[in-house]
Amino acid sequence: MKKILIILVTALIIYFLYFYKSPVISTDVALNNAEKYLLNPPKEWSNSISFKGLEELTDENISMYLEQKQGLWNEITNRMQWEVTIKSSEIELTILMDAHTGKFINFVGGFN
């Protein structure tokens, strides 16, 4: 009887963790956060990254995707991430950020 109760409680916890949807930040907030991360890159990257040519960006040069975060725990808890891709004549990069908190994860892409 105790084993069945433990299995049932565990299944309910996993079910709740998977189907619970914590609020996701909006596209406007994600875009503002991406701009903030571009203007203030991490200190260890500030000397190796140049963001010239970003003044001429149009809406066609920016794309945003909401993706599942990698990892077993993130899949169990259904965590998401925003991928903001920016293409310009000088740079093409993707900014990864947590979709629930807006916290910076990483820059991905080619830098000139």
CA distance 66 to 89: 25
Per-block average pLDDT, block size 10, for the chain (112 residues)? 92 81 86 84 67 66 89 84 85 87 84 50
**Which listed CATH number (1.10.1200, 3.10.450, 3.20.20, 1.25.40) goes with 2-111?**
3.10.450
- Give pLDDT, residue 45: 66
Q: Write the CA distances from 88 to 11, 17, 47, 48, 100, integer angstroms.
A: 48, 40, 20, 18, 28
Amino acid sitting at position 73: W
- Give pLDDT, residue 112: 46
- Give pLDDT, residue 46: 62
3-state secondary structure of 19: helix
CA distance 66 to 82: 5
- Give pLDDT, residue 50: 61
